[in-house]
Structure 1
Amino acid sequence: MTQEKEMSFLDHLEELRWHIIRSTIAIISAATLAFLGKSFLFDVIIFGPTKPDFFTYDMLCNASNLIGYDSFCDTVFDFEVQSRTMAGQFSAHIWTSITFGFILAFPYVLYEFWKFISPGLYTKERKHSRGFLFFSSVLFFIGVLFGYYVICPLSINFLGTYSVANQVHNDFDLNSYIGLVRASVLASGFIFELPIVIYFLTKIGLVTPAFLKKNRKYALVIVLILAAIITPPDVASQIIVAIPVIILYQFSILISKIVIKKQKRQS
């Protein structure tokens, strides 16, 4: 390992504090931009999946037409989003801006995290920092887009039109609606980091390709459970969510194999 100088525990804490401060400043800066763009943030992004002409509904409608169905072609939401507390809308504006700021600043936050742990790594490992930051950021953003364009509209389409009786009208609380969007987006973003997690677990010897293959059936069950949690309880939606996660798992096995091969060549 390479390290310019020995640091005490308190020095490490001080170093960590500054990484956290810089990351927080980046998030707040991005959140401020999001806060100022309130109309775009809410009218276009947050409430986009409630509009009949949303991209996902058009795509699913065209896909269903190819096989002779008209699913998602007449998507109309007969529900209202209400704020039932005095500070409800302002609070939603603040926290939504912070969430959006975190998403935008994610590559920089990851960069600060890497800067903190990199002094404890070997020189060869530190050379791969750019690749780590690039692929981690790309996977996170792909996951965020998947959550926004797939999980979120499927959930809103199911839950927004679900009814137990004609006498019950759907009026959703603002924080409840935004919580659904936030959970769908962030959960997908972090799930798509699976290959990166497997890479590091393989590097430190906690995971091997044989272990991943042996437990593939258990992983499949876990994936289906996760899909059931973050999607509406219909089989089609769960399959749509489960497929990319299963692909990520297979890709993680490949990454684990590559890491093991490199370690064998170096030993």
Structure 2
Amino acid sequence: MPDPTAKEIAEVLLGLRKKLIRIVAIIAGVWAISFTFVTDALITKIKNDLLPPGAHIVYLYPLEPLILKLKISLYLGIAVAMPYIVKVIYDTLRSRTELLDNLNISRSKAVLYLIVATILFGLGIAYGYCIMLPIFLKFLYQLAVQQGASANYSIAEFVSFVVLMLVVFGFVFELPLILYILVSNGVVKYSTLTYYRRHFYVGFFVIGAVITPPDVFTQLMVAVPMVVFFEISLLTIKVLLKGKIYEDMHSASG
């Protein structure tokens, strides 16, 4: 492969600059809209729906509500821009490296994957918001009461924790789709996933330890659903890609 010329490098940098400007524009636009019209209602809803009865919200410093609004608005902007960010990364890796040579996604498949990914992410958020977090937060509140503590939560820490957990559950629900795409396009073999199953388990628990407070129960609340959905992903792949799995096993043995 010939070395790129200065003109080709300049064209790549110019194209990347335009894409980065678009990403920043999307994030900034959604940030401004959500900061003005959405974030206050979202924070209020989280407090009303998930704050355990008897617990109280407090502000620890004057700028805490403003900084919280800025953070939540930024998160929403990044979430809206994420499909385009993934597209830019995919196009860049496809055109400039050999990492994704086996991954060839047509426009129609990309649209289908985006729809399925959005649905799965929404289901993960709904599961966390309606089922897991109410039980989990109530358990933590009752534990504090039993220990004779008064439950006064910082508004920033409470809302940030809820948002973080919702994002985690959203991405956990994406596992079946991600692994299906990788296996169906030959990027990863099904046998590789099953062979390194225990390594994935360890990785899930490490992720749980990194993104949650330093207590075992909270880490389990993150890691265990990831393990369960990893197994669901393997079962889904085994059912939907039975022919491809057989071909891979046959070619490996041959």
> TM-score, structure 2 length as denominator?
0.69
Verify the 8 A CA contact 2:43 2:159 in the aligned structure 1.
no
Verify the 8 A CA contact 2:104 2:185 in the aligned structure 1.
no
Question: How far has the Cα of 1:184 moved from its partner?
Answer: 0.5
Q: Deviations over 1:27-72 (max 9, x none)?
A: 222222222224421222x224326xxxxxxxxxxxxxxxxxxxxx
How many equivalent pairs are there?
234
Question: How far has the Cα of 1:22 moved from its partner?
Answer: 1.2
Q: Is 2:217 aligned against 1:233?
A: yes
Residue in 1 aligned with 2:252?
none
Q: Distance in 2 between matches of 1:260 and 1:8?
A: 41
Q: Distance in 2 between matches of 1:137 and 1:116?
A: 23
Verify the 8 A CA contact 1:154 1:237 in the aligned structure 2.
no
Q: Distance in 1 between matches of 2:195 and 2:78?
A: 36
Residue in 1 aligned with 2:236?
251
- The runs of 5 or more residues in structure 1 that have no matched partner are 1-5, 52-75
Q: Distance in 1 between matches of 2:35 and 2:88?
A: 24
Q: Distance in 1 between matches of 2:156 and 2:176?
A: 32
Residue in 2 aligned with 1:62?
none
Residue in 2 aligned with 1:65?
none
Question: How far has the Cα of 1:221 moved from its partner?
Answer: 5.9
Q: Is 2:31 aligned against 1:31?
A: yes
- Report matched runs for 1:210-229 at 5 Å: 210-220=191-201, 223=204
Residue in 1 aligned with 2:65?
89
Amino acid at match of 1:98: L
Residue in 2 aligned with 1:98?
74
Q: Is 2:4 aligned against 1:19?
A: no
Residue in 2 aligned with 1:64?
none
Q: Deviations over 1:234-266 (max 9, x none)?
A: 8x96798354443134335556766667999xx
Q: Distance in 2 between matches of 1:81 and 1:40?
A: 16
- The runs of 5 or more residues in structure 2 that have no matched partner are 1-5, 250-254
**Over the residues paired in the alignment, what is the CA RMSD in angstroms?**
4.1
Gap change, CA 1:116 and 1:224, over 3 Å in 2: closer
Q: Is 2:172 aligned against 1:191?
A: yes
Which SS does the other structure have where 1:47 is aligned?
helix
Verify the 8 A CA contact 2:26 2:81 in the aligned structure 1.
yes
Q: Distance in 1 between matches of 2:7 and 2:134?
A: 50
Amino acid at match of 1:33: I
Question: How far has the Cα of 1:117 moved from its partner?
Answer: 4.6
Verify the 8 A CA contact 2:59 2:155 in the aligned structure 1.
yes
- Identity across aligned pairs (percent)? 19
Amino acid at match of 1:91: I
Amino acid at match of 1:49: D
Which SS does the other structure have where 1:81 is aligned?
strand
Which SS does the other structure have where 2:69 is aligned?
helix
Q: Distance in 2 between matches of 1:225 and 1:114?
A: 27
Equivalent residue in structure 2 for 1:140, among 106, 121, 127? 121
Residue in 2 aligned with 1:43?
44
